[in-house]
Structure formats: structure tokens, C-alpha cells
Amino acid sequence: MDLEPRPLSLSTRIALLLVIAFGFLSVLYFAEFWFFSSAQRSRIYFPLLTFAAFWGVYRSLVNWYIYFFITTPERRGDGARPCTVDVLTTAMPGEPFEMFEATLTAIQRVTTPHRTFLLDGGNDPALLALCQRLGVEHVNCVGVPGAKAGKINHCLQRRSVAEVVLIIDPDHRPRPDFLERALPWFDDPRTGFVQVVQAYHNTAESFVADAAAEQTFGFYGPTLLGLNGLGIPTAIGANCVFRRAALDSIGGHAVHLAEDALTSMRLHAQGWRSVYLPYRGSAGLVPADLGSFFKQQFKWSTGMFQLLLREYPRLFFKFDATARAHYFFAGTFYFNGLATLLTLVLPVWFLFARVFAVEFSLREFAVHLLPYAAATLLTYKLIQRWYTHSSERRVPWRSLVLEKATWHVYVLGMISGLLDRRVDYFPTPKGSDRRGNPRLVIPHLVVIGLSAAAVVFALATYPRLDDGSRLMIGFAVLNIALLTPVTWVALFPRWNWRRPHGAS
């Protein structure tokens, strides 16, 4: 069931404030214990463990701050509503024809008058014929540099003249009332773009698809509603409606591995505002096999690090304080790979080398962690009311497991991003690879093996288990448990796929 966002009732607002206050206090309580309680701390390992432990805390704090501003969008302004709309979608050689047929048909059914452009990087005669049949304008983009964004700019310069441009990924089929819902927000002349929900129609296909979609539930919903309250929801590649004048003010759509994020950074730096519309205007594809998912995450993490290093400093003084903080958080988001790596490696190292980072009593540690853990769970529970579909309200273990298992991809993305390696833009893969791929999870197998060996080593050789060793054994076992599901579906792909699939 689709959920329509309603303005926050007083009781909801109070509950939200209470949860945020509880969470904030629980962090102070845990941090005071972590840093200032009387315990022996290692000079080398304690900072490493602190980074690993507080990465999640930092993310929670930022989330609570964002949730503080959750507001359903309110219509403002009485500027002229734009009346011409172009819809742009791109094609790359090798993408399935049926997908374009379905998508273009859906676009043509959108009720608001508009022109549709297919930006074809392969100049495929079959697509050309399809465009002619459906009344879509086919744009030959062979040899246009700059991947997707390059094609968009090419089209904006040569063909498109509308006041508003909807950029939609070819796997996303819009609903007929898409533009009808989005356009009124341009009444406010400051609105640079309107972002709607990205929903997926293939989540039932596989475990990976289900888990990858679940990772976005919190984002499309509470996070973007909070950013909406702060005035800066970001653009997310697909389903974004731009004001042409806004794109022109930044010299067209940004060309970058993380082109969507860079575009919204530049627009916000120019003073444009954005609106998030919690409306599931289209449904697209989410990566269903592990290889595609890892590729997508590699692209995003590399791109975000490049932005942090090269673009963020340039725009720093143009941003207002909110944008500055928000894009710093977004740019550092993929450090989670490094934090996860530490959580995986440190227990193994501590157990084998018989060293410690800090000597807490297990009981005191548990007492001080408990409020934070409770606050996190309460937050999960509470923010589910802003999810955009009732089916999304569930225990989010799949997304957590998948995120944990993507650590090596994020670490690689961090390295290539920070070293500014050239990574060519590639579209998120749309087909699905049904073969097992053990190579994707070699690091996981190594980590699982090492963790198990470390636990056995400790149990067999330690004369006596103190609280610290017990804690590390607990973490090692937890790591094994968290890495196992994804490793399993990579080795035995039939556990990934939910439905029998036609031969392909």
C-alpha cells in the first residue's frame, strides 16, 4: 500500500523529539564511558577501535539531526507554473530492448503534455523504429563524450527547449500522473529541482535485490523528508525533475562518476532550493545479482570520494552551513568500508596477538552501550512511519548484512577515489548474472576463516578468558554470522534467486 505523507501530528512530533533526545543523551553516556572511564587503553589500538566503534555513532548522530527536521513538503510561492516539459532517457548499447519498449510506452502515457527524447549512445535501428512507433524523439548520441550526463547536455544544447526537464533512467517506468504531481512545486521560483521516490519492481527477484532495495527505504522517506525540512534534498540520478534555468546556471548537468550528487551540489551552491516529493512516481530495477550490486556501489563510493576531495573544497565557500555539513556527511559516507574493515580485522588481530585496545569490564560496557542500542532500535521503529510503502516496514537485517558484506568494495572505492584513479562511468547493470561468483567473496572467505581460527585459537590456548577476550570472541562470531548470508548466496546462487527465471 502506498503511504501518503501526512503533516506530523503533535504526538508524532513529541515521540520523534523524545527518541532523538534519548539517542543524543545515550551517545553522550556511551562516549563518556568510552573515553573517560578509568580503564587501561592502548595507544595504538584504542584509536583504531574508536574509529570503528564511533563510525556508526557518528552516522546515528547525523541521522538524528536530519530526522529532527522531518517535514512533509509544503507548497510555497506563486510564480508562474512552467508549461513545457521534456522527458529525457538514455540508452547504451547492450541494454535490453524490452526494457525500452516498456519504459518509453509508460513515458508516453504520462498525462501532462510533454516531449520525450531517447538519447541513444548506440544509434540502434531497432530503437529508432521503436521511437518512431511511439512518437518519441530519437537523438543520435554516438561519440558524445561524458556518458549519461554528456548525452543529456548534448540534448539540452541541440534539441530540448522546455522549461522543465525530467531525467529518468531507462529502467524506470513512470506513472501517468508523475508530472502532474511534480510540476506544482515549481510555482516557487527558487525551486531548482524536484526529486521523487525511486521504487523498484524487481525486489522479489532475489535476496540481493531485496536487500539492496531495503538499503534505500530509510533514505527515500525519513532522510529525504528531513533534508527537505533543511531545504536540501539531493538529486538521485533517476526521476529528478530539473528546472532548465537551474541546469543552465551551472553549465548543464554535471559530468562525473557521481553526476547526480555533483549536480545537486552545484545547484545548492548556486542558491537553488530543492523539494523532495514522497511519491512513488516510478518503479525501476535494483541490482539483483551481487556482481552488479558491487559494481554500482564501487561507482558510487569512488565518485563520492572524488567529490569530497576535488569538488567539495571548491564549493565550500559557496555553500551555506547546512549544505556544507550535509555534503561533508555525504562525501564521507563511504568511509564505512574502512570502519567495517577494522571491525572485521581487529578482533582477529587482538585474539591472535593477545593484545587489547582497552580493558573494560564486559558488564560496564554492556550497561553503557545498552541505551544507545535501544535508542537505535527505537529510531528504526519510529522512522518506519515515513517509509513510502507499508511493505517496507520490517526488520532491516538484509540491508545491514549486505552493507557489511560490501566493505571490500567500499574500501576499493575509497582507494580509487582518494587516489583519484580514473574510473569510467558505466550505467548500473540492468541484466542479471545468475552464475555463482566465488571471486566476489574471496575477502569474506578469508575473514570468516581467520575469525573462526582466532576464536578456536583463543578458546584452545588462553589459560583464562577475561572480559576483553570474551568481547572479542563475541565480535568475531558476530562478524562470521553477518558475513555468511551474502557469502553463501555468492557461492550458491540458487539461494539468491527467488523465482524461477526463463532461460537467459
Partner 1 sequence: MGPRKRWAVVFFGVLSALYVLAGRRVEAGLRRAWFHSVTRSLVTDARGLAPPPGLIWLGASRPELPQSLYGMDALESQLGLPLKIASFYVAWGQGEEHAFPSEVVRNLDKAGYLPLITWEPWLSAFPRWAGQLPPGALRIIADGAVDGYVRRWAHEAVRSGKPLLLRPGHEPTNPAYGWSPATGNTAADYRRFWMHVRQIFRDEGARNVLFVWTPFGLQERDWFPGREAVDWVGFDIFNFGGLSEQGSWLDFYTLTKLFYDAYAPLGVPMLIAEAGTSSAGGNKADWIRDMFHDLAQNNFPEVRGLVLFDQPSGHTDTGLPVDWSLAEVGDAFTAARAEAGLRAHFQPRGR
Interface positions with partner 1 (CB under 8 A): 17, 21, 24-25, 28-29, 32, 65, 68-69, 229-230, 321-322
CB of 131: closest distance to partner 1 in angstroms? 46
Phi-psi region at 386: left, alpha or beta (left = phi > 0; alpha = psi -120 to 50): alpha
Extended strands (E) in 280-335: 282-284
- Rounded Cα gap, residues 193 and 85, in angstroms: 13
Which C-beta is closer to partner 1: that of 16 or that of 308? 16
Q: How many CB atoms lie within 10 A of CB 50?
A: 18
CB of 24: closest distance to partner 1 in angstroms? 5
CB of 70: closest distance to partner 1 in angstroms? 11
Which C-beta is closer to partner 1: that of 59 or that of 295? 59
Which C-beta is closer to partner 1: that of 69 or that of 329? 69
338, 305 contact by CB (below 8 A): no
* Residue for grid cell 590456548: 461
- Rounded Cα gap, residues 134 and 206, in angstroms: 32
CB of 366: closest distance to partner 1 in angstroms? 13
- Cα 324 off chain centre by: 19
The length of the chain in residues reads 504
Which C-beta is closer to partner 1: that of 20 or that of 285? 20
Which C-beta is closer to partner 1: that of 21 or that of 442? 21
Which C-beta is closer to partner 1: that of 73 or that of 417? 73
CB of 360: closest distance to partner 1 in angstroms? 15
Taken in order 443, 445, 450, 451, is the CA torsion positive or negative?
A: positive
* Residue for grid cell 510533454: 114
CB of 322: closest distance to partner 1 in angstroms? 7
- Rounded Cα gap, residues 351 and 355, in angstroms: 7
Which residues fall within 8 angstroms of residue 275, CB to CB, at 6 or more apart? 73, 185, 188, 191, 193, 194, 195, 228, 233
Which C-beta is closer to partner 1: that of 268 or that of 404? 268
CB of 385: closest distance to partner 1 in angstroms? 20
